Amino acid sequence: MRDDHSYFVYILASQRNCTLYTGVTSNLIRRVWEHKEGIVEGFTKTNDVKRLVYYEMFGDVTAAIVREKQLKRWRRSWKLELIEEANPTWADLYDMDTGFVADMPGTRFKN
């Protein structure tokens, strides 16, 4: 996973086919850890949305924000399809023991 001058759009889930949250960050590892530890007040903490099931990387913050807004406008079924295609088992891509995020098949760096 590339992390120098990278921006990430990510989707968290409470469990498979359940509550979803879409966000954007410049530090995916730190941000997911914050969600998992309950440091982030609001929707994800209230709804126990902690499982990283999807992400995309961008080299430009504006492109990442545009993509986040696009995904937030998508129908739920489209988001589920996107997750299923890239992560069919809905595995948590963040490992609490190591603090690393797994590479997701089909995810590529977007400029």
- Nearest one of 18, 75, 82, 77 to 50, comparing CA atoms: 18
In a domain, 22, yes or no: yes
Inform me whether the pLDDT recorded for 111 exceeds 80. Answer: no
In a domain, 15, yes or no: yes
In a domain, 94, yes or no: yes
In a domain, 51, yes or no: yes
Total tally of structural domains belonging to the chain = 1
In a domain, 109, yes or no: no
In the 8-state DSSP scheme, what is residue 97? T
Inform me whether the pLDDT recorded for 2 exceeds 50. Answer: no
Residues 69-93 have pLDDT tens digits of 999 999 999 999 999 999 999 999 9
The enclosing domain of 72 has a CATH number of: 3.40.1440.10
- Record the pTM: 0.87
In a domain, 65, yes or no: yes
In a domain, 111, yes or no: no
Q: Which domain holds residue 33?
A: 7-102
Inform me whether the pLDDT recorded for 107 exceeds 60. Answer: no
- Nearest one of 50, 46, 47 to 37, comparing CA atoms: 50
Residues 15-56 have pLDDT tens digits of 998 999 999 999 999 999 999 999 989 999 999 999 999 999
